[in-house]
Structure 1
Amino acid sequence: MPGTELPHSPTRPLPGAGRTAVVTGASSGIGAATAARLAAEGFDVVVAARRMDRLTELAESVGGRALPLDVTDPSSVAAFADALDRVDVLVNNAGGAFDANRVEAADLDSWARTYEVNVLGTVRLTKALLPALRASGAGDVLFVSSTAALASYEGGASYTSAKHGVHTLAETLRLELNGEPVRVLEIAPGMVRTEEFSLNRLGSADKADAVYRGVREPLVADDVADCIAWAVTRPHHVNIDLMVVRPLAQASTYKVARE
């Protein structure tokens, strides 16, 4: 129609224009896809992870900035925070699962690693960047949790325990920041096929492939990035407390249609 402006038309600014978004765990998967999507929405994107070779390539491709970050290392987090002039959006995406053992066969080192990366690392970085998020006047802290944050399953105790921790962290922080200009958002993806998640957890390509075998169109990283971008570009009085997103083939943790 004449006079109708497209969302990203030249006469209408991009939703992220003038805002800086930090994305952790950005060297692959959901983090990399989110960085690319937020850059397309006009954000100045800072990508963070340990693997600088991948980060540098990503930053060059999206016009962003790459900074090294190990969320399990307090000195790394402090140096990262000091290197930032502004933060409007923090996407806490760094995390992972590292075993599929039953409780009776629990590897406590794996439990400690899972909790350190998913929970303590997330707390550590959120705490470090909260002053900047407050100072922005309209900050967003977004947690990428999982449907494992909402339901348990056999062989998943180390991961589900950690993601339950992330979920309650988001809920608690939202209560504590009530009345302040900082939103707390959570995206909880179900089955997402990425190049590394199941491989890191199960240790072999065959086992990783079996997770998705016969599933018609599991989610991919771009699907979750789309949800994240939508959530952080809503008007700031609109808070997406929790968004659960699964592929159509997955009705619950236990019910997945396979062909």
Structure 2
Amino acid sequence: MVERKTALVTGANRGIGKAIAKGLAAEGLDVIVGARKLVDARAAASEIGGRPLEIDVSREDSIEAALEKAGAIDVLVNNAGVLSTDPVLENPQAFNKAIEVMLKGPYALIRRVAPGMVERGYGRIVNLSSEWGSFGSGLNGPGPYGLVKAALNGLTVAAARDLPAAVKINSMCPGWVRTRMGGEGATKSPEEGADTAVWLATLPDDGPTGGFYQDRKPLVW
């Protein structure tokens, strides 16, 4: 009997995160639905058949407490994000928040779950990035968003270099998705945006690591 893998998805109470959690549940994984508020995590988890978990990725104490409750994690999807359109030099609060949620939070989670993945000889880590964080595409994200996503991409490359091949870590861009962040005019459904993340989260042993993908195809850094 194949052991069921456990996945933690942050920011999974709505939008792309919820679609990723739903997709992983459909793949047979034991999905932990992470959200800042437990009531939101419970609502989404009951809908997709997952387990709720209160986790605020901008706070180390919340991360520690959440992982104590979660137990062993085989798949980590760093999805939680924030968006500010203020000019990057004019709003240091937004800059600091973006770093806390989209860089320091993922870093802390990866550091804590990766040793167990290495020990068990299996791990999949997916960082939700954006083409807005691509230097090759002009780093076009507004405010601090693009530059923090670029830093997250850098973390993906550095971590892939340090981790064994059995623990695969990749970044992905969901594209323009109809969510609260993307708006109703976006071209993709949450499920379409989630597809590449679900693929990367369930890669076979010979799958890629240290890459950046959209629609299951490589993106330029």
Structure 1 stretches (4+) deviating beyond 4 angstroms?
Answer: none
Structure 2 equivalent of residue 249 of structure 1: none
Tell me, yes or no, if structure 1 residue 114 matches structure 2 residue 98.
yes
* Cα distance in 2 between the residues matched to 1:67 and 1:114: 22
Stretches of structure 2 that go unaligned for 5 or more consecutive residues are 217-221
Tell me, yes or no, if structure 1 residue 229 matches structure 2 residue 198.
yes
Residue number among 90, 93, 98 corresponding to 2:76 in the alignment:
90
SS class of match (2:169): strand
* Cα distance in 2 between the residues matched to 1:60 and 1:103: 38
Residue number among 205, 212, 220 corresponding to 1:242 in the alignment:
212
* Cα distance in 2 between the residues matched to 1:192 and 1:61: 21
Structure 2 equivalent of residue 58 of structure 1: 44
Structure 2 equivalent of residue 8 of structure 1: none
Residue number among 123, 136, 139 corresponding to 1:152 in the alignment:
139
Q: 1:165 to 1:42 in 2, by over 3 A?
A: same
Tell me, yes or no, if structure 1 residue 34 matches structure 2 residue 3.
no
Q: 1:60 to 1:169 in 2, by over 3 A?
A: same
Determine if contact 2:35/2:54 at 8 Å carries over to the other structure.
yes
* Cα distance in 2 between the residues matched to 1:82 and 1:135: 18
Deviation at 1:244, TM superposition (A): 2.2
SS class of match (1:163): helix
Structure number with greater Rg is: 1
Q: 1:103 to 1:75 in 2, by over 3 A?
A: closer
Determine if contact 1:86/1:136 at 8 Å carries over to the other structure.
no
The one-letter code sitting in structure 2 at the alignment partner of 1:243 is Y
* Cα distance in 2 between the residues matched to 1:17 and 1:193: 35
The one-letter code sitting in structure 2 at the alignment partner of 1:152 is L
Deviation at 1:233, TM superposition (A): 2.4
* Cα distance in 1 between the residues matched to 2:162 and 2:17: 27
Deviation at 1:65, TM superposition (A): 0.8
* Cα distance in 1 between the residues matched to 2:174 and 2:4: 28
* Cα distance in 1 between the residues matched to 2:19 and 2:63: 22
* Cα distance in 2 between the residues matched to 1:87 and 1:126: 10
For these two proteins, the number of residue pairs brought into alignment is 212
Determine if contact 1:17/1:42 at 8 Å carries over to the other structure.
no
In the superposition, the TM-score normalised over structure 2's length comes to: 0.88
Stretches of structure 1 that go unaligned for 5 or more consecutive residues are 1-12, 199-207, 247-259
* Cα distance in 2 between the residues matched to 1:88 and 1:54: 23
Tell me, yes or no, if structure 1 residue 141 matches structure 2 residue 125.
yes
Structure 2 equivalent of residue 205 of structure 1: none
Deviation per CA, 1:60-100: give whole Å up to 9, x if none: 122211110011111111111111232110001111212x1
Determine if contact 2:8/2:34 at 8 Å carries over to the other structure.
yes
The one-letter code sitting in structure 2 at the alignment partner of 1:116 is E
Structure 1 equivalent of residue 169 of structure 2: 184
SS class of match (1:83): helix
Residues 152-171 of structure 1: pairs in structure 2 closer than 5 A: 152-153=139-140, 156-171=142-157
Determine if contact 2:175/2:193 at 8 Å carries over to the other structure.
no
SS class of match (1:66): strand
